[in-house]
Structure 1
Amino acid sequence: MMPLLMARRGEINTIAAVHGKAETKRFLESMGFVIGAAITVVSEFDGNLIVSVKDARVALSKVMAAKIFI
C-alpha cells in the first residue's frame, strides 16, 4: 500500500484506503474515492494531481492525494 502521490501516470490502480478526519473521508467518498474503486493519475503538476475515478476527472491537491492509498 502506498499513497496516491506515488502512482505512475496512466497506470490503473485500486483504492485500498482513505485516511483523514471523518468529514474529509465523507467528502472524498462523495466524489467517488471509495475502497475498491479504480483510479488513474492523468497528470501531475507540483505534486497536485488530476485523476480519473468513476468516469470523472478530479483535481486533487497533494494534501488530499496523500490521504488516498492504493
Structure 2
Amino acid sequence: RDQLGSNYKLFGSSAKEYSQCPSSEQRGDLGRFVPGSMAPSFDTICFDSTTPVGQTIGPIQTKHGYHLIYIRKR
C-alpha cells in the first residue's frame, strides 16, 4: 500500500500482475457500484466520506480475502 500511494497507474499494473480477483484483467477497476453490492467491510470503506479519494487504502479483510482499494472518485 505504501509503495502504491496515490499512483493510480502503479495500482493498476500491480493489480494486473498480483491480484487473484477477476478484476485483475481490468487492472483492478471494479467500475461504479452502489452501496450494498460489495462485502460490508469493503462498502464501509468505499462509501465513508472520510476515506480519502486518490490514495491506496487497506488492506481491508472480507470473506473473500484481503483487498487494497483505490477510490478514483466518489
- Calculate the TM-score normalised by the size of structure 2: 0.29
Kindly name which structure, 1 or 2, has the bigger radius of gyration based on alpha carbons. 2
Give the structure with the larger strand fraction: 1
Give the structure with the larger helix fraction: 2
- Calculate the TM-score normalised by the size of structure 1: 0.30
